[in-house]
Chains A and B, each alone.
Chain A
Amino acid sequence: MRYAGSFARDGEEARMSREALDALRTRVHDDPVLARRLAGIAPERFTGELVRCAAELRLDVTPADVEDGIAAGRQVWLMRWLR
Chain B
Amino acid sequence: MDTIINGIVQAFWMLVHGDPQVLQIALLSLLVSGAATMLSLLIGIPLGTVLGLSHFPGRRFLVSLVNTGMGFPPVVVGLVVSIFLWRSGPLGMLHLMYTPWAMVIAQLIISLPVVTGFTLAATQQLDPKLRLQILALGASQVQLVWLLLKEARLPLLAAIMAGFGAVISEVGASMMVGGNIVGQTRVMTTAIVAENSKGDFAYAIALSVILMALVYLVNFILTMVQQRSKTR
Asked if A pairs with B, the answer is no
Q: A residues engaging B (CB < 8 A)?
A: none
